[in-house]
Amino acid sequence: AVQKAIIRVIPLKVEPIVLEGEFANVAEVTPAEGKLLQSHPLSLCNTSEDEHTESGFITIVKLEQPDRDPNPCLSLANKAKLAGERGARAILFDITDDESAADQLRKPRGLSQPVVLIRGHDAELLMGVVNKNREAHVKIEVKEPPAWPDYDVWI
């Protein structure tokens, strides 16, 4: 079963929004919190060691359609791993344009930073925050399954 994630996005100057995503099995299912930073897909390559970003951030990567990046420098699992090594506390992948990403990130790899997939309207809202704000804070929570509904059992 897919473990849902609650993503609370708190921009600096505007109202917070609450989005939903799903944890990818490639990593641990665990909460995380930090400053939101967008990463270009090509920034997560071994040839791009240029960004000296302080650690403790949560990165969002907007994935493009697969045919637009025919020879990716790393697999998505290794991009997530690299982001964690560079200080990311969690990695959000916007997979609206690349649903195959969900399959690529299904195989458990035990990455310690959670990987969360987001798509569609939720992803559009999140990228809208990135485009229109200078800074935002993000809290990722594990969405609890609904409590067992109370049935009136008559014997």
Partner 1 sequence: VHPNVSQGCQGGCATCSDYNGCLSCKPRLFFVLERTGMKQIGVCLSSCPSGYYGTRYPDINKCAKCKADCDTCFTRNFCTKCKSGFYLYSGKCLEKCPDGLEANNHTMECTSIVH
Would you call 88 exposed, middle or buried from its count of C-beta atoms within 10 A (0-12, 13-18, 19+)? buried
* Using rule CB under 8 A, residue 13 touches partner 1: no
Q: Is 120 helix (H, G, I), strand (E, B) or coil?
A: helix
Tokens (6 digits) for 98: 């690349």
* Using rule CB under 8 A, residue 82 touches partner 1: no
* Using rule CB under 8 A, residue 127 touches partner 1: yes
Amino acid at 40: H
* Using rule CB under 8 A, residue 48 touches partner 1: yes
What sign does the dihedral 47-48-52-53 (CA atoms) show?
Answer: negative
Rounded CA separation 3/22 (Å): 6
The footprint of partner 1 on this chain (CB under 8 A) covers a number of residues equal to 31
Rounded CA separation 56/88 (Å): 6
**One of 14, 55, 56, 68 touching partner 1 (CB under 8 A):** 68
* Using rule CB under 8 A, residue 36 touches partner 1: yes
Of 80-88, 104-112, 127-135, 147-155, the segment contacting partner 1 by CB under 8 A is 127-135
Smaller CB separation from partner 1, 25 or 88? 88
* Using rule CB under 8 A, residue 20 touches partner 1: no
Q: Which residues bind partner 1 (CB under 8 A)?
A: 36-43, 47-52, 62, 64-65, 68-69, 71, 94, 96-97, 127, 129-131, 133-136
